[in-house]
Amino acid sequence: MIPDGWSTCDLSDAHGDAARVLPPLFRHFGGRSRFSGTVATVECFEDNSRVKEQLNTPGEGRVLVVAGGGSIRCALLGDTIGGEAVAAGWAGVVLDGCVRDTAALATLDLGVLAIGVVPRRSLKNGQGVAGGPVEVAGIPCVPGDLLFADEDGVVLLPAGS
């Protein structure tokens, strides 16, 4: 059970090797710097079609983890899709890729972590896969994991931790 007032440092200490810690590549862009939730996943490369689809489903406080292959050529999330995520009840999005519209993202009640910023939009060709196991910056992530993000980083714990 996760205590109220959690921090990623305390969770990492308490769960030892069961805690998967994302490398310190991610920057905060959303209006929430602390967020947590059950993980949903998308794997895509420079096409945000599945990201948009997922963030338009009921979020129920979940966090979408996007394995974007670390691309810095285009953004997988901007203010429009970010606003849709808030309206649908998502807690956050973690992208192994880039965002855009950062001034607007910072005003949203949404946790957003990404590796960078680029103004170019992504392709929209319907490519990508939702709902399967992914790897983000070399760290495995599966739907149902618990994700915790704060000013010190991101910790993933197995479901039921």
Q: Domain map of the chain by residue range?
A: 20-157
Prediction pTM value? 0.97
CB 21 within 8 A of CB 155: yes
Could you report the per-residue pLDDT of 48-99, keeping only the tens digit for each?
999 999 999 999 999 999 999 999 999 999 999 999 999 999 999 999 999 9
Reported as a pLDDT band with limits 50, 70 and 90, residue 1 is low
pLDDT: which is higher, 57 or 3: 57
Which CATH class, in words, describes the domain spanning 20-157?
alpha beta
* Cα–Cα distance for residue pair 67/43, rounded to 1 Å: 5
* Cα–Cα distance for residue pair 5/60, rounded to 1 Å: 21
Could you report the per-residue pLDDT of 57-66, keeping only the tens digit for each?
999 999 999 9
